[in-house]
Each structure stands twice: as C-alpha cells, then as structure tokens.
Amino acid sequence: MSTVSLQQIMAARFRTSAHADSQTKQLMEVLGLSTKAAVARLAIGRSLSLGALPVEQVDAKGLEIPASSIFTQEDVAIWVGLILTHARVFGATAIDGMDTFRGFLRQHWHRGASLLYDDWKNSNEDFDSFISTLVKRRADLPDRPVGSGAAPRVKVEETPPTDQSNLLVRALAEIGVSAEVKGVLHGPRLSRYRVALRDVNQLDKLKRGLERLALAMSLQQHMPTLSAGDEARIVMIDVPRPRATWKSAGKQDLLDALKSVSPNGDQLVVCPGVDVIGKPLQFDLKSMPHLLVGGATGQGKSVCVHALLVSLIAKHSPASLRLALFDPKQVEFSVYANSRFLWQDKIAIGVPACREMIDDLVAEMDDRYRRLSELGVNNVGEAAKKGMHVPFIVACIDELADLVLQDRDIEQKIVRLAQLARAAGIHLILATQRPDAKTFSGLLRSNIPARIALTVQKASESQIILDDPGAEELLGAGDMIVKLSGTESSRAHGYFLSLADVESVVRK
C-alpha cells in the first residue's frame, strides 16, 4: 500500500455493488439515518469482524460516495489499518494500490450490508430487536494467526427451519379456508406444506387469498405458492422462509447431480439449480435448443450462467464441446480465459470483438450446413455416423441488450443463428438484465424456447422472459423460474458457485 497515502484515500470516491446500494438505502430508512455513509460504516465494520471475503464477483454499480463522508480525518487511519490488516490476514491478493483498496472496501461494504440486512429480516423487521441484535452481537473476530495456512471459510450460521403448521392453519382460517396440515417438507428455501382442505369449494377462495395469507403469516412481500396435491382435497402450499434458514446447493452438489450423465455424450446437459424440495433440476440444451436467462441486476444471473457452463465443461472434452463466449461488458468471463474449451481460443470482449465473433459463428454454421449437404444429411448427429465429427458450440452472450441495442444487424444474425444453428450443432445461451421488447424482440423470442427468469422488478419483465408473470415475486439470490418448451414451469434455486469453484472445473 506504499503507493497510496491517506490523503489520496480521503480525496477518493467509492462505490459499492448495486445490490448493497439498494440494501444500504433500505437500511438507511429502517435506522432513520440520513446518509448512506453512516450505513456504509456499519456495514464495513460488520464485515471486518469476519474472516475471508467470499470469492465472488462484486459489481461496482452502486452510486459513488466520497471517502470524506465515510471516514473522518480523525478515524481514517484506523479504518485503513483495519482493512489492510484484514487483507493481509485473509486476502488472496495484497492491497498494492488504489484499485485493490477500492475493491476490498467495496467487498466489505457489499458483504456487511447483506449481513445487516439479514439481521434486520431476522429481527422480524422490529427496530428494537434489530438494535439489540447489533448491540449484543459478540464480534466474531478472526481466530487465525497472521501468516498461517490457507484462508478459512466464513462460517455461515444456519438456523434450522421451524414448523409453521399452526400459524398456517390459523392464517388459512383468517382468509376463510378451513384446512388441516398433513405434513411438511423443508426444502432449501421454502417449506412445502401438504394441506387437506375440508371443503374443495374453498379452493378458489385460497387461490384468490394468497396475498392475504402472506400478510397473515407475516411473510412481508414474499408470496406463498400453491400447487396441486397428490390426493383428493390435498394442495401443496410452498411458504418462503427467512434467509437465515436457507441452504445453498454448491459445486459438489452440482457435480453429484451430473453423475448420472454420461461423459462426452451426445447431450448438452445443464443443471441450473435444485427444485423447491432440493431435487436437482437438469435439462438437455441440445433439445431445447436455445436458452434465455433474464433477471434484474444482482439477482444471480451470472452465477446461473456459470453453473450452466460448468455443467457442460464437467461432462465434455474440448473435442466434443467448444464455448463461444461473448462479453460485451468486459467483466464476466475472465475465469475462462486460456481454457481449452474456448472456441477460436479467445473470449470476444467488447462490442466490436463480439460483432466479429458473431460473423464467424454464422460463417461456421454456413460451412457446417455445406458439409452436411455434401454428405446428404440433415444434422451433425447423422453426419457423425458418416465420419464428420464436429464439436458442439455453445455460444453464450452475457448481455444481449448491450449487443442488440448497439447494432440491429447483430440482432438479425442472432435471430438467424437461433433459427438454423441447432442442426449445425450450435446452441445459444443469451443473458439479459434488461428484459424488454426492444432487446428481446418477438422474432428472437419465438426462436428461443427455453427460458430461465431470475428475480425481476415488474410483472411485465417476467412476462417478457417467461410469457408469464411470477418472477417479480422470487426471493433473489439465485431464486429462479425455469420454463422449458412443452413443460410446466418450475421453481428452482441456483447452485451457488464461487469463482474459485468455477475455476477448479474450467482448469480440468
């Protein structure tokens, strides 16, 4: 840190992530604080009391605030000392300049805001109990001696889920539905109650009353969902639980889910997550044949895309699969740099490079079509029987909007790929954080039948992604609705992969 002085830090401005920015604003209101900086100090302090920062990408899309409102001349040296010491004890990289300092501060703010927000939720949004949680918490100070071994993982305390059957029955009675709970199954984020209705004629009342049911159960803005049961008069009610009780499926769960899939097969099996009761969800991208992943910023789209790509890499070799990665925002795919799976051995970074790679992909498709017709076959599967072996190409575009809004010509080429590329063994995964008719036009929509929606802000955005509302009521953090052609849509929770997890599979 020798190259940066306290004066430079005080003259700088800092940003947190978009996600932490919105949590900071909410915490400001809750705590009656007048500046974001006051929450930032609490959040950074909260994070500094814990061990290693998670290896995750934290964007810098929050609003910028000056250092002079976070720190004062009197305490800046203490804060900087704490941040440097934390980085020295737990950081994988050293703080060697202003950029890395900014990165560490951003990550502490991001993690701390999220933990404070969880504290608020776990205090049932009650001001007094929230404050007493903050006051009473014993700092979980790092117990690792300076300079020893690998960074410890942050211990996430999981609260076991509680059975809310009695509350549910009372809440049902309040909306005029008389019922009995026959069983409960706690999934990763929701608890599934098997409920017997005394009178089937009350089903419509229950369907109409879900919002009031949420209110009666104090679920805040999160809605329970209803599905058909396995017997007469039985319905399933999935009730969202507080975040402290969630269990995330991770890399090992993803790899376990893929165990039944044969390697280098004639399939492109991808696993986005687990369903409401924790069962792995998987599908063959080859038969979809293209997929859109949409959701508001910070809701888990990138993590989801990584899970899809990791699924593919785990079951293929570079001889059977190549990834054409398009990164117009220049941030998302660096972990795949130098991977043997890259199509053309590079990632297309920035709009001009993406434009060029789209052209190359269209040329590759046309070339494959020419070779198919020479062999007198219709697709690469049949061609393989006649000795023409080509790898699948999965083209993944990180931010569709950044490409199509820049250049309508690119959109036409993507549409052409979506219409024709399947037979040539080329499949698309398109991601967008701006689900609207301008970026995901009717023509493109009709050719991208598989959809994954992460949390969005408005029902109209859910409608664009899924052709249905619902994604506006998801829980964030990788919560998703998966809609595949010809099947009912299903709720799932994404695998939570760190960049280190992704890297360990990519480097195989």
Binding residues for ATP: 295-302
Residue 168 β-bridge partners:
none
* DSSP-assigned states of every residue in 432-458: ES--STTTS-HHHHHH--EEEEE--SS
Site residues for ligand ATP, 60-79, by CB under 6 A, read 61
User: Total binding residues for ligand ATP by CB under 6 A?
Assistant: 21
Residue whose C-beta lies closest to ligand ATP = 478
Whichever of 299 and 339 has its CB closer to ligand ATP, that residue is 299
Closest CA to 86 of 63, 111, 113, 104: 104
Piece of 90-98, 203-211, 434-442, 488-496 that binds ligand ATP (CB under 6 A): 488-496
Report CA torsion sign: 128, 129, 131, 135. Answer: positive
Binding residue for ligand ATP, selected from 192, 222, 241, 301, defined by CB under 6 A: 301
Minimum CB–partner distance for residue 335 and ligand ATP (Å): 13
CA 428-432-434 angle, 5° bins: 150
Q: Is 496 in the site for ligand ATP (CB under 6 A)?
A: yes
Q: Is 56 in the site for ligand ATP (CB under 6 A)?
A: yes
Q: Is 302 in the site for ligand ATP (CB under 6 A)?
A: yes
Minimum CB–partner distance for residue 453 and ligand ATP (Å): 12
Q: Are 361 and 426 in contact (CB under 8 A)?
A: yes
Whichever of 164 and 302 has its CB closer to ligand ATP, that residue is 302
Piece of 23-31, 98-106, 300-308, 466-474 that binds ligand ATP (CB under 6 A): 300-308
Whichever of 425 and 494 has its CB closer to ligand ATP, that residue is 494
Closest CA to 331 of 149, 104, 14, 58: 58
Binding residue for ligand ATP, selected from 339, 433, 462, 463, defined by CB under 6 A: 433
Minimum CB–partner distance for residue 337 and ligand ATP (Å): 18
Whichever of 17 and 339 has its CB closer to ligand ATP, that residue is 17
Whichever of 16 and 248 has its CB closer to ligand ATP, that residue is 248
Minimum CB–partner distance for residue 20 and ligand ATP (Å): 10
Show the tokens assigned to 313.
């890499």
Show the tokens assigned to 180.
């009995």
C-alpha span between 258 and 253 (Å, rounded): 9
Q: Is 503 in the site for ligand ATP (CB under 6 A)?
A: no
289 cis-preceded (ω within 30 degrees of 0): yes
Piece of 57-65, 97-105, 134-142, 457-465 that binds ligand ATP (CB under 6 A): 57-65
H helices within 145-281, ranges in order?
165-174, 203-208, 210-216, 251-257
* DSSP-assigned states of every residue in 305-341: HHHHHHHHHHH--TTTEEEEEEETTSSS-GGGTT-TT
Site residues for ligand ATP, 235-254, by CB under 6 A, read 248
DSSP state of 176: T
Q: Is 112 in the site for ligand ATP (CB under 6 A)?
A: no
Q: Is 498 in the site for ligand ATP (CB under 6 A)?
A: no
Minimum CB–partner distance for residue 32 and ligand ATP (Å): 27
Whichever of 86 and 301 has its CB closer to ligand ATP, that residue is 301
Where do the DSSP E strands lie in 22-68? Answer: 64-66
Q: Which CA distances in Å does 508 have to 92, 196, 270, 282, 338?
A: 21, 50, 18, 22, 12
Adjacency order of strands within the sheet including 179-186: 179-186, 190-197, 234-240, 225-228
Show the tokens assigned to 330.
């220049």
DSSP state of 376: T
Binding mask 17-36 for ligand ATP (x = CB under 6 A): -xx-----------------
Q: Is 429 in the site for ligand ATP (CB under 6 A)?
A: no
Whichever of 235 and 303 has its CB closer to ligand ATP, that residue is 303
Q: Is 299 in the site for ligand ATP (CB under 6 A)?
A: yes
Q: Is 57 in the site for ligand ATP (CB under 6 A)?
A: yes
C-alpha span between 82 and 339 (Å, rounded): 37
Whichever of 248 and 320 has its CB closer to ligand ATP, that residue is 248
Q: Are 305 and 432 in contact (CB under 8 A)?
A: no
Binding residue for ligand ATP, selected from 20, 50, 59, 222, defined by CB under 6 A: 59
**Could you tell me the end-to-end alpha-carbon distance of the chain, in angstroms, rounded to an integer?**
35
Binding residue for ligand ATP, selected from 37, 206, 303, 313, defined by CB under 6 A: 303
Whichever of 58 and 321 has its CB closer to ligand ATP, that residue is 58
Whichever of 364 and 398 has its CB closer to ligand ATP, that residue is 398
CA 452-455-460 angle, 5° bins: 85
Interacting residues with ligand ATP (CB under 6 A): 18-19, 56-57, 59, 61, 248, 295, 297-303, 433, 477-478, 494-496
